[in-house]
Amino acid sequence: MIEAFHIEALAHISPAWPVIIGGLIAAIIPNFTLRKALALAVPVMALVLWFNPAAPGTYGIIEFGGFTLETFRYDPLSRIWGLVFIIAAFINAIYGLHEKDRLADTMGMIYAGAGLGAVFAGDLLTLFFFWELTAISSVFLIWGSRNNAAYKAGLRYLAIHILSGVLLLAGAVIRASETGSWAFDETLSIETTGGFLIFLAFGIKCAFPLLHNWLQDAYPKATITGAVVLSAFTTKLAVYALARGYAGTDILIYIGAVMTAFPVFFAVVENDLRKVLAYSLNNQLGFMVVGVGVGTELALNGAAAHAFVHIIYKALLFMSMGAVLLRVGTVKASELGGLFKSMPATAVFCLIGAASISAFPLFSGFVAKALTLAAVAQEGHVIVWFVLIFASAGVLEHSGIKIPYFAFFAHDRGLRVREAPANMLIAMFLAAALCLWFGIFYGNLYEMLPFPEAALYYEPYTFDHIVGQMQLLLGAMFAFTLLVRFGLYPEEKRSENVDSDWVYRRFGDGALRWIWAMMDRLTAAIGNVINAVGRKLGGRMFQAFSPIGALSRDIPSGLLAIWTSALLAIVLLIAYLAP
């Protein structure tokens, strides 16, 4: 029998609940203004709850069905992720104020709340609940585009994320059967079956190499606001989960290094600028995964700091491209250019986001990425360090230069449109201000990190670091200029680039079509046999029971007497022989 809910503590409520409840309420509010006011209010309520705990600890414990669900674990790691998720939810709400889509408002809030719930989850069952809720709610931000491509991409997205949840639950159950614990902490290990399945679940959501294609497939097909919201939560939640459960796992160093490098080549030739940002997102995730894999205090600080600032500057870049898509109707590089004349504010905000992701001094990316690079160097991972340096130059090329250059400056095509709506500009301004604030006043960021003592002893603005970074950035800019000047830079063409998913989608699609055809033939054959048997049996039954059938004929009295005598003899024999 299911036990009744028993809440041990009401004083400390997870910041996730007001956001999720706000989303449910939004679903039944027809009034546009009230719905938008609610979307702005719930992150503020979540922030109040985020400040509520007096000290690190586990709050919001619920006893249900013999399980203890820890809904609010408040510690330095969950604290910083929770804060940036709340900031992202608020900025996203401002950015979407112009959108009159009740479903988008509802699912946007539930998705953000589910992300917060997963970050503050103290056990694997609670994590699983919010893990799946992020998948189910976020897919509607893709389907919101209401076209066939978005519908198919959403189905693929949902399938892969449901698979991630299934692996998470299976791993948790196996681990609990082996250890008796549902704890979501550093005791997870890829050396055990349960731990490996959980690791794989996290890897899918983190877009590990060869598991990454859902990201580039789905994000560019999402709605204008949906892409911004999606960029903030799912993958960074996975980085958090890895940092919580698998810090110091060596294989993550090499997985992360590959993640930083391979998207560079795809992003250079990609024509869809939102897809370029999706590849760039993969690149940035790699830096965080490397930091988690190194596992030292400085490295984990680097992963947390990078995740914090990345959510903000990546959202800024997606917001700027969303504004372009709203006004022009496309974000294809081959069809854009010269927009700085009619969208100057958006162009400036895009440049700030580009400078941040490229790690220019005085911008947030500089002070965050420096922590990871320093930690990798300190631990002697020389080859990985060089890969990260290459990837840093690559991200400057495809996100720092390509995005603003082809959207706002190159090839003036005479596009003259209105500037982005006021609410979009306000959201971009807030994100841009935070990019500069944390780049200049980096101590405010460092003191929020999981190991603030280790961070506060690190100084990013040293002469060697500034000069080295500027040499890297200026060298990459010079190379880009030369390639463009002499016509060697890959031409922006109307094309669809092929990624590794082509292999399994191509052959998988063929295999599924063959299986479907064979099943169709088998079903048809079985149906034919059943019909034939049915017709034959039906004919025999008709011959026996129809008005002109055998049983309806007159039976001669002599024959009837013989059969009656025979049956009576059988009955008497059975009665005689019965004990």
- Specify the DSSP class assigned to residue 123: B
Predicted local distance difference test score (pLDDT) of residue 155: 93
The helix (run of H) or strand (run of E) holding residue 574 is helix 557-577
- Count how many domains the chain has: 2
**Global confidence as pTM:** 0.86
Tokens of 423: 């609410």
Residues 363 and 396 both lie in one domain:
yes
Q: Residue 203 falls within a domain, yes or no? A: no
Q: Residue 222 falls within a domain, yes or no? A: no
* C-alpha to C-alpha distance for 58 and 487, rounded to whole angstroms: 59
Tens of pLDDT, residue by residue over 441-467, are 999 999 999 998 877 778 899 998 899
* C-alpha to C-alpha distance for 91 and 87, rounded to whole angstroms: 6
> How many Cα atoms within 13 Å fall on the side-chain side of residue 424?
26
Residues 535 and 486 both lie in one domain:
no
Residues 487 and 552 both lie in one domain:
no
> How many Cα atoms within 13 Å fall on the side-chain side of residue 457?
7
Predicted local distance difference test score (pLDDT) of residue 6: 44
Cα dihedral sign, 310-316-318-321: negative
* C-alpha to C-alpha distance for 497 and 485, rounded to whole angstroms: 24
Percent of the chain residues topping a pLDDT of 70 = 86
Any residues with CB less than 8 A from the CB of 342 and at least 6 apart, and which? 415, 416, 417, 418, 419
Residues 414 and 519 both lie in one domain:
no
Q: At 62, is the secondary structure helix, strand, or coil?
A: strand
Tens of pLDDT, residue by residue over 217-247, are 999 999 999 999 999 999 999 999 999 999 9
Q: At 183, is the secondary structure helix, strand, or coil?
A: strand
Secondary structure percentages of the chain, helix, strand, coil, to 5 = 75, 5, 25
Cα dihedral sign, 331-336-339-340: positive
Q: Residue 409 falls within a domain, yes or no? A: yes
Residues 337 and 386 both lie in one domain:
yes
CB atoms within 10 A of CB 118: 29
Residues 425 and 551 both lie in one domain:
no
Residues 543 and 428 both lie in one domain:
no
3-state secondary structure labels for all residues of 286-354: HHHHHHHHHCCHHHHHHHHHHHHHHHHHHHHHHHHHHHHHHHHCCCEHHHCCCHHHCCHHHHHHHHHHH
Report residue 68: phi and psi, to 5°: -105, 115
**Mean pLDDT, residues 162-177:** 95
Residue 503 has pLDDT above 70, yes or no: no
Q: Are 233 and 314 in contact (CB under 8 A)?
A: no
**Mean pLDDT, residues 73-102:** 95
Tens of pLDDT, residue by residue over 248-291, are 999 999 999 999 998 888 888 888 999 999 999 999 999 999 99
Residues 297 and 413 both lie in one domain:
yes
Q: How many residues are there in the chain?
A: 579
Predicted local distance difference test score (pLDDT) of residue 187: 87
Tens of pLDDT, residue by residue over 299-314, are 999 999 999 999 999 9
Q: Residue 363 falls within a domain, yes or no? A: yes
* C-alpha closest to that of 21 among 149, 129, 113: 113
Predicted local distance difference test score (pLDDT) of residue 562: 67
Distances (CA, A) of 121 to 13, 17, 62, 139, 472: 12, 12, 12, 22, 40
Distances (CA, A) of 495 to 142, 272, 334: 22, 9, 10
* C-alpha to C-alpha distance for 519 and 498, rounded to whole angstroms: 31
Q: Who wins on pLDDT, 564 or 483?
A: 483
Q: Residue 477 falls within a domain, yes or no? A: yes
Tokens of 313: 């500057």
CB atoms within 10 A of CB 1: 4
Residue 10 has pLDDT above 70, yes or no: no
Distances (CA, A) of 148 to 76, 101, 220, 339, 512: 43, 19, 14, 29, 20
Q: At 272, is the secondary structure helix, strand, or coil?
A: strand
The model's confidence at residue 1, banded by pLDDT at 50, 70 and 90, is very low
* C-alpha to C-alpha distance for 313 and 363, rounded to whole angstroms: 10
Tens of pLDDT, residue by residue over 506-537, are 666 566 666 666 777 777 778 777 777 767 76
Any residues with CB less than 8 A from the CB of 204 and at least 6 apart, and which? 160, 161, 163, 164, 167, 211
3-state secondary structure labels for all residues of 429-456: HHHHHHHHHHHHCHHHHHCCCCCHHHHH
DSSP string, 488-513: -SPP--S-----THHHHHHHHHHHHH
Q: Residue 268 falls within a domain, yes or no? A: yes
Q: Who wins on pLDDT, 138 or 454?
A: 138
Q: Residue 151 falls within a domain, yes or no? A: no
Residue 547 has pLDDT above 90, yes or no: no
Q: Are 14 and 49 in contact (CB under 8 A)?
A: yes
Residues 292 and 397 both lie in one domain:
yes
Percent of the chain residues topping a pLDDT of 90 = 64
Residues 418 and 362 both lie in one domain:
yes
Average pLDDT, the chain: 87
Domain that holds residue 531: 504-577
- End-to-end C-alpha distance for the chain, whole angstroms: 50
Residues 380 and 510 both lie in one domain:
no
Residues 383 and 510 both lie in one domain:
no
Q: How far is CA 266 from the centre of its chain?
A: 20
Residue 3 has pLDDT above 50, yes or no: no
The helix (run of H) or strand (run of E) holding residue 73 is strand 67-74
Q: Name the least confident of 201-205, 364-368, 377-381, 532-536.
A: 532-536
**Mean pLDDT, residues 134-151:** 94
Distances (CA, A) of 421 to 47, 226, 426: 27, 17, 9
Predicted local distance difference test score (pLDDT) of residue 261: 93
